[in-house]
Structure 1
Amino acid sequence: MRITLNGEPYEAKGTNVAQLLDELKIAPGRVAVEVNLSIIKKTEYESCLLREGDTVEVVNFVGGG
């Protein structure tokens, strides 16, 4: 399905947030995910279904000092 991922068109194979992160090889522990301007709780990654045309933002947390 076609979505917008971090501002770019993307053809997603997965149907939910957890599958999308797996597809992108992103560990879910250190990211925040927003779908259509709503923050998705980590406990909802499996149940949050993606739909054609959704806008998804994935933000990685990186430590520094």
Structure 2
Amino acid sequence: MTITCNGEPLRTEARTVADLLGERLGSAHPDGVAVAIDGEVVPRSVWSAPLLADGAVVDIVTAVQGG
């Protein structure tokens, strides 16, 4: 399937947010990360549910600390 992830087309076999995060970030449940699918924030509690569909627009945001 093909999705858009952070503005880039991406072919993936991931069906869940957890799968996608594992592919992209190396961890299925990383700290300091928020995810939205088609503009809707996805609660961490459902990241393992099959939410991804062909054509989905996914935004992965990582908190960065600094000063």
TM-score, length basis structure 2: 0.88
* Residue correspondences, number: 65
- Is the deviation greater in 37-46 or in 24-33? 24-33
Residues 1:63 and 2:56 are matched in the alignment: no
Q: After the TM superposition, list the runs of 4 or more consecutive aligned residues in structure 1 that deviate by more than 6 angstroms.
A: none
Alpha-carbon distance change, 15 to 54 in structure 1, aligned in 2, over 3 angstroms: same
- Is the deviation greater in 7-16 or in 50-59? 7-16
Structure 1 residues not aligned, in runs of 5+: none
Structure 2 residues not aligned, in runs of 5+: none
TM-score, length basis structure 1: 0.90
| Identity within the alignment, % | 37
